[in-house]
Amino acid sequence: MIINIPHRVLCIITTILLVLVCSCKETKTQDEIAVLKVVTHPFSAINDTSVICNGEVISQGESEIINRGFCWSMQPNPTIESFKISSGKGIGKFTRTIRVLDPKTNYYIRAYASNSTETVYGETLLCTTDASPVYIFNPYLTYGIVHDKEGNEYKTITIGQQTWMAQNLRTSIFENGDSIYSTNNNEEWLKSDYPLQTPYSSFNHKDSLNKYGRHYNWEAITDKRKIAPKGWHVATETDWVKLEKFLIENRYNINENDNQIAKSMASSSCWKISTQSGSIGLLMHKNNKCGFTAIPATIFNNKNEVLFSSSYWWSYSQTNVEYNCRILYYNNSSLLKTYISKHSGLSVRCVKDE
């Protein structure tokens, strides 16, 4: 039997159903907005020192998302008081690469999101970095070896009439056996008038130390107890000038008779990528022609220098007050020089005594 329902009644029923559906949807949306929710998605890739992290802010809570990113630690349930890296703001998916990890190490990582009233975390994921790859020097050159007082071994390279360390110094003691005080407290570095050192990026891990070395203040490199191995000395401005002149005269530069020698000095890995013509970070497989093997250990000071973007070395001189350091940048083609605060922590390269 077919029941004929008046058209007016059908319209009323349809309207009621639409109101109910819309009300349900509106209630659900309000519930979602009232709760700040962030999700940690699986990692995209993991290698020996980095991991690509993925996260997503599902809902923002009662106010807009002002910060989001990832935090990590070697202990479960990391927070933004541990190590963290930001990735913008707002709702939606986000990705960042953490690049300061140590090989063969377990890390706990999770996404976070903050609005004006609270910070919420996603699920914690375990990341185990790969074993450290073979350290990349120039395979077509012959390297020597030297040991410091502490027993650390360094590769050395002869460039022209000079023999340089092909790795940054990493000793924690002077040549007489005295310890060099270690701290990563910025205030202590800024006020110090005594020798200081700290491991690269404050990660006191054997693989990182071998690769990046330690940072030292000016007092450490000028101390009479000496930090260089016996028969060696901290590179002076005269040493740097001599190296620069040899590389230019022997066409290690990009263009003849200029200072574009950075690529010939920089390692063929680890650097931040650049699109700048002739820069270290472009076509990195063409780097390290002279075997110097510069690694981007950056600088230790109260400014947050971008990791993997630069190398800073002390350039010792008793008389030159205009320059006291040498620099390589990932997006530059020259070996630069400047004056920098003696309270900063820089890498050290040593040169064999003539």
Question: How far, in Å, CA of 309 to CA of 300, rounded?
Answer: 13
Torsion 325-240-305-125 (CA) sign: negative
The domain spans of the chain are 36-128, 144-352
Token pair for 309: 């973007």
Confidence of residue 14 (pLDDT cuts 50, 70, 90): low
Question: What count of Cα atoms within 13 Å lies in the side-chain half-sphere of residue 124?
Answer: 14
Span 21-43, pLDDT tens digits: 444 444 434 444 568 999 999 99
Question: How far, in Å, CA of 148 to CA of 176, rounded?
Answer: 11
CATH fold of the domain at 36-128: Immunoglobulin-like (2.60.40)
- CB–CB of 49/129 below 8 Å? yes
Q: How many CB atoms lie within 10 A of CB 302?
A: 11
- CB–CB of 352/156 below 8 Å? yes
Alpha-helical (H) ranges within the chain are: 7-33, 186-191, 206-212, 218-222, 237-249, 262-265
pLDDT for the residue 338: 93
Question: What count of Cα atoms within 13 Å lies in the side-chain half-sphere of residue 347?
Answer: 26
Task: Report phi then psi at 23, rounded to 5.
Answer: -65, -40
Span 250-302, pLDDT tens digits: 999 876 657 899 999 999 888 888 889 999 998 888 999 999 999 998 898 76
Question: How far, in Å, CA of 146 to CA of 160, rounded?
Answer: 18
The DSSP-derived string for 244-299 is: HHHHHHTT-SSSTTSS--HHHHB-SSSSPP--STT-TTSSGGG--TTS--B---B-
pTM summary value? 0.65
pLDDT for the residue 26: 40
CA-closest candidate to residue 257, choices 245, 266, 265: 245
The one-character DSSP state at 146 is E
Instruction: Examine the pLDDT at 185 and tell me if it is beyond 50.
Output: yes
Distances (CA, A) of 24 to 30, 317, 341: 10, 76, 63
pLDDT for the residue 25: 41
Alpha carbon 90 to chain centroid distance? Answer: 25
